[in-house]
Amino acid sequence: MSKLTLEVDCGDGAVMSAVNPLSFEDGGVEWRLRYGDPEGVRFIAAALIDSYDYLLSGHINQKEAERRLRLLRQARRAALKEADE
């Protein structure tokens, strides 16, 4: 079974969670919340929501939010590329 999330280092000790695009073959977080075992993925879902909410919050400025979003997207692309190899 693949890992459900990607943990992305954003610098200065900050880490954000993103859905692992490879986890869908195992049901993925969203599927498990709806149809599977929501109790088993509740902390994973909470980490994903927390990361998303932080991007939208006023705790960081627009430039930093965009930088972090780019890091999350790069990690997603890297995971997909690694799976293709």
- Please tell me the predicted confidence (pLDDT) of residue 2: 52
SS3 85: coil
- Please tell me the predicted confidence (pLDDT) of residue 27: 80
Stretches where the chain sits below pLDDT 50 are 1
What amino acid occupies position 70? R
Q: Is the pTM of the predicted complex or chain greater than 0.85?
A: yes
Cβ(83)–Cβ(22) under 8 Å?
yes
Closest CA to 6 of 78, 85, 81: 78
Cβ(29)–Cβ(39) under 8 Å?
no
Query: How many structural domains is the chain composed of?
Result: 1
List, for residues 43-67, the tens digit of each pLDDT value. 999 999 999 999 999 999 999 999 9
Q: Tally Cβ neighbours within 10 Å of residue 60.
A: 16
Domain boundaries, position 20: 5-84
